[in-house]
Amino acid sequence: MSPVPRPRRAIQFVGLAALAGVLVAGFALPVVGPLGAYAKTTVGDFNDLPAALKTSALAQSTRIYDADGGLIATAYSRDRTVVPGDRIAPVMRRAIVDIEDHRFYQHGALDLKGLVRALHTDAGSGRIAQGASTLTQQYVKNVLVEAAGDDAGAVRQAQRQTLDRKIRELRYAMTLEKKLSKDEILTGYLNIAFFGEQAYGVEAAAERYFSVHAADLSLPQAALLAGLVQSPTAYDPVTSPRLAKERRDTVLRAMAGYGTITREQSRQAIATPLGLHVSAPRQGCATASDGAGFFCDYVRQVVLGDPAFGRTAAQRQALWRQGGLEIHTTLVPKAQQALRRSVTSHVLTTDRAAAAMAVVQPGTGRIVAMGQSREYGVGSHQTQIDLSVGTRMGGGLGFPTGSVFKPVVAAAALENDIGPSRKYPAPYTMAWPAMTDCAGRKYPEAGEVHNDSPSLVGPFAMPEAMAKSVNTYFAQLEADTGLCAVATTAAKLGITAQADGSRLQVVPSLTLGTNDLTPLDVADVYATFAAHGTTCSPVAVTSVKAPDGHELSVPQADCHRALSADVADTVTGMLKGVVEDGTGRPAGLSGRDSAGKTGTTDSSEQVWFAGYTPELSGAVVVGDAEHPRDLDGQSIGGSVVGQAFGGTLAGPIWRDAIEGALDGQPAGKLASGG
């Protein structure tokens, strides 16, 4: 340490001496001379300082678990797990006391003997050689730093080396010593202290450096951790193992000197290597396995956005930052793994286009899988934008859905007494029929709607038109049903806005899927058909336990009847035809009932497949979210796409994901009405 400049050294010495005078006067001890006069004039101010230290729950790690109880990810502003005193090894408690404040159990908030020793040493050495803060005072300082959070200015203010800070800390420490036992103060200190390498508290430190719990620390391990708190950076055993061992050995010698351990135990421990078994910090959704980072982020958005977790955004943000939550979710590992395998095998991470998929459980709204072909993160070919959801949940702007919207039009028609036998001429091309929206705005006959092929001409009834995805048929069906009736049915199915939060565009092209929706939106709509007309809002969280162990209320799925069972089952019958003998045949499942619909947007910029079994409903989209362009001619999944269709590009992704998710489960039967 370089010598302190003489003027500064004098100021520091006078400050320490003044502090000693204030403290001695505060304890009503006789003091004479100038120091005593100073103390007498200041002791009143000392007694007037606030005595109660405002403490709040320590920021801890939040753990997010899947439906089987497996850990998805750990998120934190402070990597900390608070543990009670009986879950900290006794040798750890003894080590920290011996090296930081060996008379901790003999003195009060102030160690007068230590203060006098420090004053004498500092004066004799000509430099600030020895501090006098007790463990209680150190605990108070840590509480003040913790309260400053991530505000750098507030942290500097809490750490400033000034006389008034020292006096204020002591005032708080004196009150704490009256309220808490020594063991409680020591436990609090061990849970709040910073041990380096992003580890706050002894439990996180034990896991970080040795991959053990604080309760299982050995003597050499405890000594190393106890030595770190003085300077976590200088004595970091990962980056500075030699200095770390020297510091550890200093702690061991101190423990032997105070009789906590024997000289032989100290000698043996000093002879052992550091024995590090480092567990690297695993922070945030980027660490989630099986591509579950997007689902993890969705869970975070639920906590930050749902009033169940706080009436205001500030309250919810504080809850998330404070952490220590144990969040159990709906994610099914088997389904998530199958989804991940499928999207990444059919669309490569490096492809210009990306695939996104969401899977829900009909009748419950539980999100069982969610992911995309891109990795979650900020690196090359990564993204933190969840393409399966809209902007309100941290996602994207959605995609035009194409013909996957046609079942909504069919459901609206059935609800308005237009049966599946209704036929239309359905020529290759025709003008859009005249229509009126819910606000009374009239759309006259105009423009042109056409089918995908000149050979695709009617007449058709509804089931065949659905199987072959006949645009001109559904334009006429929409006109006879009424634009407002279609929009009303869409709203009952949960579609009230586009992915960016803007209003649904209720225009004639509604039936062709010109609104921007997300895979989760569409999967939830199709789950209503699978559940015989019962719709459920999507849910991702099943339970949340607070740091103190009590259960928080969580959002519940809003399940209610949206369609009659007959209408829903009739739509199912038509969608079974799509995968059995229509555009969705490439998505058909082997030995299992399934129903679904393909979708291809203008210029083949996006392709969709949405479908369901009795057990699962899922939707897949393939497209370029950043720069939409024709998928024809692009290299996707290692092959150049000749002509992109929902059935041939998105359909196999859905098939492989759902087959993998349901592998080994009995095959249920879908109802077919009409």
Give pLDDT tens digits for 65-102.
999 999 999 988 788 989 999 999 999 999 999 999 99
The pLDDT, as a whole number, for residue 163 is 62
With beta carbons less than 8 A apart as the criterion, state whether 84 and 102 touch. no
Q: Please check the confidence at residue 379 and state whether its pLDDT lies above 80.
A: no
Q: Which fold has domain 79-139+173-281?
A: Penicillin binding protein transpeptidase fold (1.10.3810)
Distance from C-alpha of 84 to C-alpha of 94, rounded to nearest angstrom: 16
Among residues 599, 600, 606, the alpha carbon closest in space to that of 628 is found at: 606
- Strand 395-396, strand 435-436: pairing: unpaired
The pLDDT, as a whole number, for residue 32 is 43
Give pLDDT tens digits for 435-479.
999 999 999 999 999 998 899 998 999 999 999 999 999 999 999
Q: Please check the confidence at residue 220 and state whether its pLDDT lies above 70.
A: yes
Distance from C-alpha of 612 to C-alpha of 344, rounded to nearest angstrom: 21
Q: Would you call the peptide bond into 459 cis, given omega within 30 degrees of 0 as the criterion? A: yes
The pLDDT, as a whole number, for residue 366 is 98
Q: Please check the confidence at residue 39 and state whether its pLDDT lies above 50.
A: no
Distance from C-alpha of 660 to C-alpha of 651, rounded to nearest angstrom: 14
For residue 620, what are the β-bridge partners?
Answer: 357, 609
The pLDDT, as a whole number, for residue 330 is 98
Q: Amino acid identity, residue 436?
A: T
Distance from C-alpha of 133 to C-alpha of 141, rounded to nearest angstrom: 10
What does pLDDT average to over the chain? 88
Give pLDDT tens digits for 336-361.
999 999 999 999 999 999 999 999 99
- Please report, for the chain, the start and end positions of each structural domain, with discontinuous segments joined by +: 1-48, 54-78+284-401+515-674, 79-139+173-281
Q: Average pLDDT, stretch 543-561?
A: 94
Q: Average pLDDT, stretch 220-236?
A: 96
User: 467 is written with which tokens?
Assistant: 């199987």
In 10 A of CB 63, how many CB atoms?
A: 19
The pLDDT, as a whole number, for residue 392 is 92
The residues, any chain, with a CB within 8 Å of residue 271's CB and separated by 6 or more, are none
How many helices (H) and strands (E) the chain has is answered by 22, 24
- State residue 286 phi and psi, 5-degree precision: -65, -20
The pLDDT, as a whole number, for residue 405 is 97
Q: Average pLDDT, stretch 611-623?
A: 97
In 10 A of CB 259, how many CB atoms?
A: 9
Q: Which of 151-160, 443-452, 507-516 has the lowest mean pLDDT?
A: 151-160
Among residues 292, 357, 277, 364, the alpha carbon closest in space to that of 331 is found at: 292
- 238 burial via Cβ count (<10 Å: 0-12, 13-18, 19+): middle
Give pLDDT tens digits for 267-307.
999 999 999 999 877 778 888 989 999 999 999 999 999 99
With beta carbons less than 8 A apart as the criterion, state whether 557 and 541 touch. no
The pLDDT, as a whole number, for residue 25 is 46
The pLDDT, as a whole number, for residue 354 is 94
User: 17 is written with which tokens?
Assistant: 């001496």
> 28 versus 334: which is more confidently predicted?
334
Residue 252 banded pLDDT, cuts 50, 70, 90: very high
Q: Please check the confidence at residue 122 and state whether its pLDDT lies above 50.
A: no
The pLDDT, as a whole number, for residue 161 is 60
- Which CATH superfamily groups domain 54-78+284-401+515-674? DD-peptidase/beta-lactamase superfamily (3.40.710.10)
> 83 versus 673: which is more confidently predicted?
83
Q: Average pLDDT, stretch 637-651?
A: 92
